[in-house]
Amino acid sequence: MSFDNVFVATGAAILLTLAAHIIARILARKLSWLPMVITALVLVVTFLFIFQWDYNHYYGAAKPVFDHLLGYVTVLLAIPLAAMNFKGLPIKKLVLIVAMASLIGALLPMSLAYLFSLSHDTILAFASRSVTTPIGLSIADIIKAPLAMANLIIIVSGIIGGTLARFLFRGIEDDRAKGLALGLVAHAFGTVEAWQISQTAGRYAAFGLAVNGLVTAVWVPIFITALSV
């Protein structure tokens, strides 16, 4: 199928993506074990195959719109955060958990990349692994890491985290713990999965994503700059 016109291609890309999201959301409600993000990805690929639409063309049409919206979505996370009830929370323990997640989320993959003798640019790209895409790409830009590599690492780690979460959470009943873990480890993808668990899990995932992103965005550039001196 031909989508030569820019406006037609952009509209078709948006409709195709939204259709995949809606269907994946419906399936996730009926089949709780089915990761919504993976389902949506498979549906997008299936739609592209059915319509014989080249992926690069689809990506080029969809990217400007969704990149622009991604920044707004990140800011809109303040809405579920405002509805959270922090009364009775162990703040000191929560601060410690977020700090550890931020440090381990960046330093562990960088250390593994170094041990496997990967390139300097790849090691830097892994510094952004634990934060959501807009923040991660900003960090990558500051520390001079390759943006494409950083973007790939963020997306793949989010998909893996969001996919494995349902299996790892067996036996865990506290939705706050589930949501916080998903937000800290799998950022935006994890937050999507958390909202499928419950509103409480979704809010805590948004909290983990936002605070971890803020903390990581502050210390990682300073740390990398200090190492380069």
Please state, rounded to an integer, the average pLDDT across all residues of the chain.
85
**Inter-residue contact 36 to 193 (CB < 8 Å):** yes
Give pLDDT, residue 1: 52
137 has pLDDT over 90: no
DSSP H or E stretch at residue 159: helix 147-168
Write out the E strands in the chain. Answer: none
**Higher pLDDT among residues 134 and 3, named by residue:** 134
The share of the chain scoring above pLDDT 90, in percent, equals 28
Cα–Cα distance, 190 to 204 (Å, whole number): 11
The reported pLDDT for the residue numbered 113 is 93
pLDDT at 4 over 60: no
C-alpha span between 225 and 86 (Å, rounded): 35
User: Do residues 71 and 134 lie in contact, with contact meaning Cβ atoms separated by under 8 Å?
Assistant: yes
Q: Give the amino acid at 172.
A: I
For residue 163, give Cα distances in angstroms to 34, 96, 192.
8, 26, 11
pLDDT value at position 65? Answer: 83
**Cβ pair 189, 40 in contact under 8 A:** no
Instruction: Report residue 219's pLDDT band, with 50, 70 and 90 as the boundaries.
Output: very high
Q: Residue type for 29, please?
A: R
Confidence at residue 221, expressed as pLDDT on a 0 to 100 scale: 92
Is the Cα dihedral 116, 118, 122, 124 positive or negative?
Answer: positive
Confidence of residue 88 (pLDDT cuts 50, 70, 90): low
How does pLDDT run across 149-194, given as a tens digit for each residue?
998 899 888 888 888 877 888 888 889 889 999 999 888 888 888 8
What is the percentage of the chain residues whose pLDDT exceeds 70? 90
